[in-house]
C-alpha cells in the first residue's frame, strides 16, 4: 500500500523517514503554499445588519510554489492514503487546508485524505498519530483566516495613509503597532520623569569582634524617609550619640519552588537573560532541536525537544515518570517530591505540551558532543528547567534581626542561609528581589553572627549615609518586552520574534548599547498619528480582547465573521476620517527658523532620516539636523563635517573619510575630486556568473546588488537580500528579502527550481 505523508518543513523529512517503512513517501509544502494576493487586498467584506453578511477571500499560489503543489498532487494521484501533517497550530492548519484543496482536484475519494498532528518527532508519537487520523479543524482554519484578515485590513488600508502623511515605505500592523506603542509610551515616561533625591543610612555594629551591618528603617517609630543631605547629616549625628542593643531575633524558614517548564514566551525570556539569545535566534535554534540533529549516527537526525510554539505548561505523564526516575537515580530520594508536580496557566490554549526534552536520558553533556554551541546551550537550558520542575523546593533558613537605639532609631537586617538546595541542584535562575534598587542587600550575602542573642549590647562602629536618586523607568529589552506583551495579552509568543524584527527593519526602533529598545523619531511619529486617528487598534486592551476572540474562534465558541464584522465597520469609519485629513503630519517644535525668523521649525522625514525644516518652505529652505536630550528637548545640531578615518584609500593612499550624502552615510576618498574612490559594501559571496565581487549599488535612490565587472557582467539582484545559504537547496548563498505591506518579511530562494520561501 502506497502512502503519502505531507509535512510543512523539509527539515523534518530525514528525522521522520527513519520511523516509517518503504510504503511511505514523505514530502513537504516548504511552508505556506497560498496566501492573500500581494498587490491587492484580497478581502471583500459585506456586513449585514441582520448578521448574515459575507467575507470573501481570494487566495493566490505563492511565488515558486506551483512546482511544489504539482509534485505533491502527482504523488497524491497514486497514493492509497494521504496524511496531512503540517505543524499542530493555526498556521499549520491553514497549510493543511490549502494543500487539501489542491489534492482534492486530482483525488476523487476525499476519504483518503487525513489530518494528523504530533507534538514531538518520535516513533511512538508518529505511529500514534497515524493510528488516530482526523479531519482538518475548520475552527482553527477560521481563526487563522480571521487573524490574517484583521492583519491585512490594518496593513493594507493604514500603510498607504502613513505614506501620504509621514513618509513613503512605512507600514502599520495590528499587533506590531501596539508593541511599538509600548516602547514609545515607555520613552515618553522616561522623558517626563523627574528624579527625586533620597538617602539611605547603614549602621555597622560590633559584637564580640564581629561586624553586623543593618539598614535604618525607623526614626521615632516612623518610617525612615530622608530626602536631603541636611536631614541625613542630622540623622547621622543622632545615630552617633546612641547606645544600641538587639531588640529581637526572629528565625524562620522559607521555601522556593521551581518554575514551571518552559512555554514559548518564558523560553524566549530565559534564553535572552541567561544565554544572550535574541528572540528570533531562540526560535531558530529551537526549531532545529525540534526537527532533529544528528547524534552518534551522522546520517540520522534525532528530535530533541517537543514543539516550541506553545502557551501551555502541561506535561505528558510519561515524561513526568521519566523525569522522576532520573531525579531519584541521579540525586536521590531526598530531591523527589512525594507526588508528581502539575502545572497550568490561566488562559492557555493547552493545545500542546510545555517545551521539554523528548527524553531526559539524552543529557546536556551527551548532546553537547554532537550539537553546535548554540544548540547545546539551548538544549541544556530546556533540559535543566524541565528536570527542575519535578524536584523539591529549595529551603532557606532566615534570621531577621532588629537593632534598637535609645535615640529612637531602629535598624533591621535579614540574613538567609540555604539549608537544602532542592531544584537549585539542577537549575538556578536569578531570583527577583521585591522593590529591587541599587542599595538592596542580598540576604544570602549577609553574615549574621551565629551566637548573637536578644538584648545583646552592640557597639557602633560606623554610620554610612548614601545619596540616591529615583531612577526613570527602564527601557524594554527583548525579554522584558516579551514579558509585557504576554502580560497584556498582545499577540502570541510565536509572533514575538517577527514583531521585534519588523519594528527594527522599518527603522521604528533601534537598540542602545545595552540592547534596549529606543523609539526613533519616525517610530514616535507613526505611533502618535495612529494613536490620535485610530485609537481602537492602538489600544492594548482592545488588542488583547481580539486575541481572546481569536482563541474563541479556534475553540468553536465564536464565528469568524462575527469578529470581522464587529471590527470592520468602526475601523473603516475611523479610517475614512483619517484619510480625509489633508497635509503631512508634522511635529512643530518651539524653535524659530534661524534663517527667515518668521516660522517655526517642524520635524520631517527624508531618505537619510529625520531632520527639521522651516514651515515656510518652499519660500524658506532652511533645514538642520537635530537631537533630543534625555528630557526630550530638541536641539539643533550642525551638519557633521566629513570625518577622516584611520584607513587609507586603496587607490591613492590618502585617508578615507565618512560623509553623509543625499542617500545617507558613505565612505569616500578625502582626495576628491582628484580621486573619486568610494568605498563599496561587498557581499560575502562571489558573482555566480564570472566569480567577480558582488557589491551594493544604488540607482534613482534604490539599492541593489550587482557584479563589480559591469558592464561586462550584468549579474544583479534587485532589492534587499539576507546573506545566508538557502536552508533547502544548500546551493544559493543568499535569500531574496521582501518587506510586505502588512509588516511581514518574506525570504525566498532565487532559484525557481528550489522554490523555498518563508514569511516571518
Rounded CA separation 65/755 (Å): 6
Quote the longest CA-to-CA distance of the chain. Answer: 97
What Rg do the C-alpha atoms of the chain give, in angstroms? 31
- Helix, strand, coil shares of the chain, percent, nearest 5, are 30, 25, 40
Which residues are designated catalytic?
307
Rounded CA separation 290/16 (Å): 12
For residues 328, 334, 339, 345, the Cα torsion angle rounded to the nearest 10 degrees is -90
Sign of the torsion angle spanned by Cα atoms 470, 474, 480, 483 = positive
- Grid coordinates of 171: 507600514
Contact 412, 217 (CB under 8 A): yes
Q: Which of 258, 291, 270, 267 is nearest to 358 (CA)?
A: 291
- Scored b (16 or more CB within 10 A) or e, 11-27 reads bbbebbeeebeeebbbb
SS3 assignment for 723-748: CCCCCCCCCCCCEEEEECCCCCEEEE
Respond yes or no on whether the N-terminal peptide bond of residue 673 is cis (omega within 30° of 0).
yes
Rounded CA separation 501/265 (Å): 16
Q: Which of 636, 568, 565 is nearest to 600 (CA)?
A: 636
SS3 assignment for 697-715: EEECCEEEEEECCCCCCCC
**What are the φ/ψ torsions at residue 279 (nearest 5 degrees)?**
-60, -45
3-state DSSP call for residue 742? coil
Residue 595 C-alpha from the chain's centroid:
45
Rounded CA separation 540/439 (Å): 34
Q: How far is CA 131 from CA 4, 302, 366, 575, in A?
A: 15, 22, 33, 51
Contact 247, 340 (CB under 8 A): no
Rounded CA separation 306/353 (Å): 8
Helix 279-291 × helix 373-388 angle, to 10°: 80
Q: Which of 421, 356, 343 is nearest to 384 (CA)?
A: 356
SS3 assignment for 219-265: ECCEECCECCHHHHHHHHHHHHCCCEEEEEEEEEEEEECCCCCECHH
Burial level of 35, CB count in 10 A (0-12/13-18/19+)? buried
Contact 80, 1 (CB under 8 A): yes
Residue 299 C-alpha from the chain's centroid:
33
- With cell 500500500, the residue in question is 1
- With cell 537598540, the residue in question is 511
- Where would I find the beta strands (DSSP E) of 8-94? 24-28, 34-35, 43-46, 54-57, 60-61, 81-85
CA angle 303, 349, 321 (to 5 degrees): 50
Rounded CA separation 111/575 (Å): 46
- With cell 476523487, the residue in question is 108
Amino acid at each position: 500500500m502506497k502512502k503519502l505523508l505531507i509535512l510543512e518543513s523539509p527539515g523534518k523529512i530525514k528525522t521522520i523517514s527513519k520511523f516509517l517503512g518503504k510504503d511511505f513517501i514523505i514530502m513537504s509544502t516548504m511552508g505556506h503554499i497560498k496566501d492573500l494576493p500581494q498587490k491587492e487586498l484580497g478581502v471583500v467584506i459585506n456586513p449585514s445588519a441582520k448578521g448574515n453578511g459575507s467575507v470573501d477571500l481570494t487566495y493566490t499560489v505563492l511565488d515558486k510554489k506551483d512546482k511544489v503543489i504539482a509534485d505533491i498532487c502527482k504523488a497524491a494521484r497514486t497514493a492509497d492514503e494521504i496524511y496531512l501533517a503540517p505543524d499542530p497550530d493555526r498556521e499549520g492548519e491553514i497549510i493543511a487546508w490549502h494543500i487539501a484543496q489542491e489534492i482534492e482536484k486530482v483525488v476523487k475519494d476525499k476519504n483518503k485524505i487525513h489530518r494528523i498532528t504530533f507534538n514531538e518527532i518520535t516513533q511512538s508519537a508518529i505511529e500514534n498519530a497515524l493510528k488516530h487520523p482526523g479531519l482538518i479543524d475548520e475552527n482553527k482554519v477560521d481563526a487563522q483566516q480571521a487573524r490574517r484578515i484583521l492583519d491585512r485590513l490594518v496593513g493594507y488600508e493604514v500603510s498607504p495613509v502613513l505614506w501620504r502623511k509621514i513618509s513613503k515605505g512605512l507600514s502599520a500592523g495590528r499587533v506590531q503597532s501596539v508593541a511599538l506603542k509600548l516602547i514609545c509610551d515607555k520613552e515618553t515616561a522616561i522623558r517626563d520623569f523627574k528624579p527625586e533625591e533620597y538617602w539611605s543610612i547603614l549602621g555597622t555594629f560590633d559584637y564580640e569582634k564581629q561586624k553586623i551591618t543593618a539598614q535604618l528603617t525607623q526614626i521615632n517609630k516612623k518610617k525612615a524617609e530622608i530626602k536631603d543631605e541636611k536631614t541625613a547629616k542630622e540623622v547621622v549625628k543622632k545615630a552617633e550619640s546612641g547606645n544600641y542593643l538587639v531588640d529581637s531575633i526572629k528565625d524562620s524558614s522559607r521555601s522556593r519552588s521551581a518554575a514551571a517548564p518552559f512555554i514559548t514566551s518564558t523560553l524566549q525570556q530565559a534564553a535572552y537573560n541567561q544565554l544572550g539569545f535574541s528572540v528570533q535566534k531562540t526560535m531558530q535554534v529551537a526549531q532545529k532541536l525540534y526537527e532533529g540533529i544528528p547524534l552518534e549516527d551522522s546520517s540520522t537526525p534525532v528530535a530533541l525537544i517537543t514543539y516550541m510554539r506553545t502557551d501551555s505548561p502541561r506535561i505528558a505523564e510519561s515524561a513526568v515518570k521519566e523525569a522522576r526516575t532520573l531525579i531519584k537515580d541521579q540525586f536521590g530520594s531526598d530531591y523527589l517530591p512525594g507526588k508528581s508536580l502539575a502545572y497550568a496557566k490561566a488562559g492557555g490554549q493547552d493545545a500542546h505540551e510545555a517545551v521539554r526534552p523528548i527524553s531526559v536520558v539524552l543529557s546536556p553533556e551527551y548532546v553537547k558532543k554532537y550539537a553546535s554551541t548554540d544548540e547545546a546551550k539551548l538544549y541544556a537550558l530546556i533540559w535543566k528547567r524541565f528536570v527542575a520542575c519535578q524536584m523539591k523546593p529549595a529551603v532557606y533558613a532566615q534570621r531577621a534581626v532588629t537593632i534598637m537605639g535609645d535615640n529612637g532609631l531602629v535598624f533591621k537586617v535579614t540574613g538567609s542561609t540555604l539549608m537544602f538546595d532542592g531544584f537549585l541542584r539542577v537549575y538556578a535562575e536569578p531570583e527577583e528581589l521585591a522593590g529591587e534598587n541599587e542599595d538592596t542587600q542580598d540576604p544570602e550575602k549577609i553574615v549574621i553572627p551565629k551566637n548573637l542573642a536578644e538584648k545583646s549590647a552592640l557597639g557602633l562602629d560606623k554610620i554610612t549615609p548614601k545619596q540616591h536618586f529615583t531612577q526613570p523607568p527602564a527601557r524594554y529589552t527583548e525579554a522584558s518586552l516579551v514579558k509585557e506583551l504576554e502580560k497584556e495579552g498582545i499577540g502570541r509568543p510565536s509572533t514575538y520574534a517577527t514583531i521585534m524584527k519588523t519594528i527594527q527593519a522599518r527603522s521604528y526602533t533601534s537598540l542602545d548599547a545595552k540592547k534596549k529598545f529606543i523609539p526613533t523619531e519616525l517610530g514616535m511619529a507613526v505611533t502618535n498619528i495612529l494613536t490620535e486617528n485610530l485609537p481602537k487598534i492602538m489600544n492594548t486592551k482592545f488588542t488583547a480582547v481580539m486575541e481572546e476572540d481569536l482563541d474563541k474562534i479556534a475553540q468553536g465558541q465564536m464565528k469568524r465573521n462575527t469578529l470581522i464584522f464587529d471590527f470592520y465597520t468602526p475601523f473603516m469609519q475611523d479610517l475614512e476620517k483619517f484619510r480625509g485629513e489633508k497635509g503631512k503630519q508634522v511635529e512643530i517644535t518651539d524653535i524659530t527658523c534661524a534663517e527667515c525668523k518668521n516660522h517655526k521649525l517642524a520635524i520631517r522625514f527624508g531618505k537619510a532620516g529625520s531632520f527639521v525644516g522651516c514651515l515656510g518652505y518652499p519660500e524658506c529652505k532652511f533645514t538642520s539636523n537635530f537631537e533630543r536630550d534625555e528630557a526630550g528637548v530638541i536641539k539643533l545640531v550642525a551638519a557633521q563635517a566629513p570625518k577622516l578615518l584611520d584607513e587609507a584609500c586603496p587607490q591613492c593612499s590618502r585617508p578615507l573619510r565618512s560623509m553623509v550624502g543625499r542617500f545617507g552615510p558613505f565612505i569616500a576618498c578625502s582626495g576628491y575630486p582628484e580621486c573619486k574612490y568610494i568605498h563599496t559594501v561587498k557581499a560575502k559571496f562571489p558573482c555566480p556568473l564570472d566569480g567577480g565581487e558582488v557589491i551594493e549599488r544604488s540607482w534613482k535612490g534604490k539599492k541593489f546588488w550587482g557584479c563589480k565587472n559591469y558592464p561586462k557582467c550584468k549579474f544583479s539582484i534587485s532589492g534587499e537580500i539576507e546573506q545566508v545559504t538557502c536552508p533547502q537547496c544548500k546551493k544559493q548563498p543568499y535569500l531574496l528579502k521582501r518587506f510586505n505591506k502588512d509588516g511581514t518579511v518574506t525570504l525566498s530562494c532565487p532559484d525557481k527550481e528550489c522554490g523555498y520561501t518563508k514569511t516571518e
